[in-house]
Structure formats: structure tokens, C-alpha cells
């Protein structure tokens, strides 16, 4: 009963830890533990595990003292053999049970694939699949095709421009011929990627090959591979949307003999589990991606963990491609130095790259403004040279692909989204400088949001228009004075849309490195955060950023920030690599 004059203290309970970095959901997890009788120490640990999950870790690494305290909460914390408690301790890792079950399931299904083999046609002649003049540069690609022929799981990894898609095409052609020789029919092939844009790029890359690229006896295999269905993994698996889960699973598996997943570094733990569960035992799975790039937005670093586990004794299931075909020779040493974490080699590469790799010390808004002005002026010169600011005739659109390519030659990449050093602020600054000049030259309304040359990034998949999250469009003026947004059309001609009918979008002159994964540009500027030890600065982030450049690289940031990025690899806490290794050990 409330007594007259009684006072209440509504200050939050801090006993389970109110660290500033905890999110609302992390605090809710801690409150749930307390409300159901858990100890304050366990509540604090649960909140930290939830925070770690939000950062992409599969588990929270804990020391022995914490471990001894946690194990006293036996009704809350189990081990690998238990199946009811909400938390699991395995070694020095503290798991949310969901992540633990996902990790164990993935390791188990990968193990089954690693132990399964198909009959390889040792008489299969790969002559004609590769350019005989390629020599040692193609040795890794040829080896990849030979390894993959009898594997239920094969991983192809390598940096940008190392020929991953070229290898996948030939791998699928050889596997298709091999399958047909044993089963008297062509294999059913499904091509997928975690995002719509990545799936579209994969399909386009495979279909860019022509019959003239191969001898006559390989052309039927080429046409069969190019007829394979391409789509996002979520669509392939039959995502149930907001209801959660997928329609394809072990009870309703995918009807496929070969499944290829490109940009596999974007796979998270739960999505990989869903994919593996939906594969028939005899289906071959090929994972393709750059294991040194940024990890997925979701939980886990599955491609990196798998590659680490397969190196060595299980190397027959893995091939690394190292020879870069597209990146300029001056930029390759920079990419490799960052990949292996050698700051000294990176600085030496900068010095020898001359004008193709320029480092500018940008740490203040005024220094940034000077670089942005010069960068914007260079874009304007490109636009004028290619007449992007002039009207185009939609009926004669054969030259539109050249305009789209010219507008995408330069790209500014950054780590942050907000503030003057973030993508939103950078786009605003660039548009402020570009739009008046382009509006006045084209005769469009001054101060209007849309103008010829405006680049935009679609931010949500839209089935009605066929535009995907990540698609980049270019605004052009038609001969009747209307502004329309043009997008590359894949196998068909570029498509144009009224600017008022577009799905959600944002300017694309600057974008975060995450948004640029899987893309390459002739000239790239990479802006590092002004704080040298910013938590987003990691070796994987920096490697992903600089390796987008094919011809020229501009680094905007302090020496300290560059050094910090190279010296600090992002290592997500996970037990997946260890579980895979344990499974494949004799």
C-alpha cells in the first residue's frame, strides 16, 4: 500500500551495466534476464553478447574469471551438449543460443559436403576453355576448374579483377559437360548473390561471353550456362518477408544440380544456414567472393572463416586467384600491402605509384572542402567532354551506355553516412557545386532538385520497375526538355524513368564503402574519418575501399588514420572456422 508522502526513485538500474555503447535492444535483453530471475552479472554479460551480435560477432569472447561466474547460472547457461538454456558457453565463447545453433548447423552441413565427392571425368579435355597464351597468369583459374569438378563444395576467392567471373563461367561449362556425360542431360544451374545488384552483375558478366570466344565443341555448354536462372538468394530461397523464414528448406529443397553464390563475403551466418538447408545432398555449391573484403552486415564472417578453415589440408576445396587483370600495375602493390597488413610496403607503393595514387592530408572541413571542389570540377569537365549536360534523343539511345559509363568513371567513397565527412554531407557539397553549372548550361530551372548529370543510387528493391537496391542511375535531358533517369539495362538497352516515379533513392556522387562492394571504377577517392582511431577504420574496410580503383586512387586522410586502418584487421568473434577444421580433421 502506498503511504502518504512516500517517494520513489525512478533512476535506471545500473547494476547490469549501463555502458554508453549499449543499444536499447541490449538493455532490453539485460532487463529480460533480471525480470526472469537471472543474476546481475549474467544480465550484464547477456547485454554485451547482444551488443556483440549487433556488431557482427557470432559470440562474445570471455576470460576464465567471467566463465567461472557464468557457469553457476546453470539454468540459464548451457554447453554444446545442452539444448534448452538461452545462452551457451563453448570454450571461451559466450553465445546467444540462436547464433550457436546456426554456427553448429553450418559447420555440420559443410562437413557433409567436404566429405562427399562426385565422379570426375578424368578424360575431360579443358583445351579451348582458356586462352593458351595466358600462361602462368591463368594457372590458378585452370586449377580451380579441375578442383571443382568432383567437389560438392568449392570456394573461389580472389581480389577485384583476378578473373573470378571468368573462372566461374568456365567452371560451369566444364561441370555442365561433365554432368551431361554421366547423366545424359544438362545440369540445372542456379546463379545467386546476396543483393539484387550483385546478382544482376553476375548474370551480365556471364552473358557477356560470346560463342566466338570458344571452340565449336564448347559452344553448347556456353549457351546452357548462360541460360541459368539468376536472382537474389532471398528470392531463390523463397523469402517469406516479414513472416520470416524461407519456403525452400530440407523438406522442399532447391531443384538444382549446381548453385553458384557470388559476392559470398556478404553472406551472414543465418543466410548461409538457410541456403545449405535448402540444398539436396548431391547439389554442388560454389561460393565466390573476396575473403579479404568487408564482412556481411549481418552476423558472422562466414566466407573468411571458411577460407581460413579450408587452407592447407582441405585446399582441394579452395582456390585463391592472385593475378590481377584489371587493376593498374601501379595499384596492385597497394592492394596487396593492405591485404597482408604491411604499412611499410604500402608507403613504398604510394611513392612508386606517382600520380596514379595521391595521398592528401585531409583532417579538417576546410581541407575537405578544397578537395571536394577540385573533385567536383573534374566531374564537370568529364560531363562537358561527353556532353552529358546536352539533350539526348531517346529514340536513338545507342550512345546512352557510353554516357552511363562516363558518368561512373569517378567515385568518392567514405566510411561515414552523416556529417561533413559522411556520404550525405559529401553529396550535398558536390551537388551544390555541380548543379548550378549544369542547370545553367542545359537551360533547366535554377535551384531545382533534378538536373542533367545528377547521379542517384536506388536504396530499395522495387519489383514493379525492375530496379534493385544499389542500381545507379543518371539524369539526362531529352529533346523535349524533360528530365529522365537512365539505368543500365543488363541484356537489354538502357531504360529510362520519369524522375517522379522512381523508388527510394539518394545521390550517388559519394557513397559508403559497403554500398560500393562488388563495383569498380576508373578513378576512386577514399575519404577516411577525421578521427585516426575511428572504430569503422579497419584493414578490411580500407582494402575494400582502395581495391575499387582500376586506374587511379586518391587518398584523403591523415597518415595516422591510414596507418591505423592497415594495422587493425577486423576480427569477428566466431567458432565457425574451428568447428570446420575439427570436422575435416582425420
Residue 160 assigned ligand-binding role: yes
Q: List C-alpha distances in Å: 306 to 38, 114, 264, 300, 416.
A: 36, 11, 11, 11, 29
Residue 216 assigned ligand-binding role: no
Looking only at Cα atoms, what is the longest distance across the chain? Answer: 96
Residue 344 assigned ligand-binding role: no
Q: List C-alpha distances in Å: 105 to 97, 101, 269.
A: 12, 6, 10
Residue 489 assigned ligand-binding role: no
Residue 161 assigned ligand-binding role: yes
Nearest to 544 by CA among 291, 346, 350, 280: 291
Dihedral pair phi/psi, residue 78, rounded to 5°: -110, -170
Residue 245 assigned ligand-binding role: no
Three-state secondary structure readout of 103-141: HHHHHHHHHHHHCCECCCCCCCCCCCCCCHHHHHHHHHH
Cα separation, 138 vs 323, in Å, equals 8
Helix (H, G, I), strand (E, B) or coil at 27: helix
What is the distance of C-alpha 405 from the center of its chain? Answer: 22
Nearest to 562 by CA among 404, 264, 347: 347
Residue 11 assigned ligand-binding role: no
Residue 408 assigned ligand-binding role: no
Cα separation, 109 vs 68, in Å, equals 32
Cα separation, 521 vs 500, in Å, equals 28
Q: Which residues are annotated as a binding site for ATP?
A: 158-165
Q: Which residues are annotated as a binding site?
A: 158-165
Amino acid at each position: 500500500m502506498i503511504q502518504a508522502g512516500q517517494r520513489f526513485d525512478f533512476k535506471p538500474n545500473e547494476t547490469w551495466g549501463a555502458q554508453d555503447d549499449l543499444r536499447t535492444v541490449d538493455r532490453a535483453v539485460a532487463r529480460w534476464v533480471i525480470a526472469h530471475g537471472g543474476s546481475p552479472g549474467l544480465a550484464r554479460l547477456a547485454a554485451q553478447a547482444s551488443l556483440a551480435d549487433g556488431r557482427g560477432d557470432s559470440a562474445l569472447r570471455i576470460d576464465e574469471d567471467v566463465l567461472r561466474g557464468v557457469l553457476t547460472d546453470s539454468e540459464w547457461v548451457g554447453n554444446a551438449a545442452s539444448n534448452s538454456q538461452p545462452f551457451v558457453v563453448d570454450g571461451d565463447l559466450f553465445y546467444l543460443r540462436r547464433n550457436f545453433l546456426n554456427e553448429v548447423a553450418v559447420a555440420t552441413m559443410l562437413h557433409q559436403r567436404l566429405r562427399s565427392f562426385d565422379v570426375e571425368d578424368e578424360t575431360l579435355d579443358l583445351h579451348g576453355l582458356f586462352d593458351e597464351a595466358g600462361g602462368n597468369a591463368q594457372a590458378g583459374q585452370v586449377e580451380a576448374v579441375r578442383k571443382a569438378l568432383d567437389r560438392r563444395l568449392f570456394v573461389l576467392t580472389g581480389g577485384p579483377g583476378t578473373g573470378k567471373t571468368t573462372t566461374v563461367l568456365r567452371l560451369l561449362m566444364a561441370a555442365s559437360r561433365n554432368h551431361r556425360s554421366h547423366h545424359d542431360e544438362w545440369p540445372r544451374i542456379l546463379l545467386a548473390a546476396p543483393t539484387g545488384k550483385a546478382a544482376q552483375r553476375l548474370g551480365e558478366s556471364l552473358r557477356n561471353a560470346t560463342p566466338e570466344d570458344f571452340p565449336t565443341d564448347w559452344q553448347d555448354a556456353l549457351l546452357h550456362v548462360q541460360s541459368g536462372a539468376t536472382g537474389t538468394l532471398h528470392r531463390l530461397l523463397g523469402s517469406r518477408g516479414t513472416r520470416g523464414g524461407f519456403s525452400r528448406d530440407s523438406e522442399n529443397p532447391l531443384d538444382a544440380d549446381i548453385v553458384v553464390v557470388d559476392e559470398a563475403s556478404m553472406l551472414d551466418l543465418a543466410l548461409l544456414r538457410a541456403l545449405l538447408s535448402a540444398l539436396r545432398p548431391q547439389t554442388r555449391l560454389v561460393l565466390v567472393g573476396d575473403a579479404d573484403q568487408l564482412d556481411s552486415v549481418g552476423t558472422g564472417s562466414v566466407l573468411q572463416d571458411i577460407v581460413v578453415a579450408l587452407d592447407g589440408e582441405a585446399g582441394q576445396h579452395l582456390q585463391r586467384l592472385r593475378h590481377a587483370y584489371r587493376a593498374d600495375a601501379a595499384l596492385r602493390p597497394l592492394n596487396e600491402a593492405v591485404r597482408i597488413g604491411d604499412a611499410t610496403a604500402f608507403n613504398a607503393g604510394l611513392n612508386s605509384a606517382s600520380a596514379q595514387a595521391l595521398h592528401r592530408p585531409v583532417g579538417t572541413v576546410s581541407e575537405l572542402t578544397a578537395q571536394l571542389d577540385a573533385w567536383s570540377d573534374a566531374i564537370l569537365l568529364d560531363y562537358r567532354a561527353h556532353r552529358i549536360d546536352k539533350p539526348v534523343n531517346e529514340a536513338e539511345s545507342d550512345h546512352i551506355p557510353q554516357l552511363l559509363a562516363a558518368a561512373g568513371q569517378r567515385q568518392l567513397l567514405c566510411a561515414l553516412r552523416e556529417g561533413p565527412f559522411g556520404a550525405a554531407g559529401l553529396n550535398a557539397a558536390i551537388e551544390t557545386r555541380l548543379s548550378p553549372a549544369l542547370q545553367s548550361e542545359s537551360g533547366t530551372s535554377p535551384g531545382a532538385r533534378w538536373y542533367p548529370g545528377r547521379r542517384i543510387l536506388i536504396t530499395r528493391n522495387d519489383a514493379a520497375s525492375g530496379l534493385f537496391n544499389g542500381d545507379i542511375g543518371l539524369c539526362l535531358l531529352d529533346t523535349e526538355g524533360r528530365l529522365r533517369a537512365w539505368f543500365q539495362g543488363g541484356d537489354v538497352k538502357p531504360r529510362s524513368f520519369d524522375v517522379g516515379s522512381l523508388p527510394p533513392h539518394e545521390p550517388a556522387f559519394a557513397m559508403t564503402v559497403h554500398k560500393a562492394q562488388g563495383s569498380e571504377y576508373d578513378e576512386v577517392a577514399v575519404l577516411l574519418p577525421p578521427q585516426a582511431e575511428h572504430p569503422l577504420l579497419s584493414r578490411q574496410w580500407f582494402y575494400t575501399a582502395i581495391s575499387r580503383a582500376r586506374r587511379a586512387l586518391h587518398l584523403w586522410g591523415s597518415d595516422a588514420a591510414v596507418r591505423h586502418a592497415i594495422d587493425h584487421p577486423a576480427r569477428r568473434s566466431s567458432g565457425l572456422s574451428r568447428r570446420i577444421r575439427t570436422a575435416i580433421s582425420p
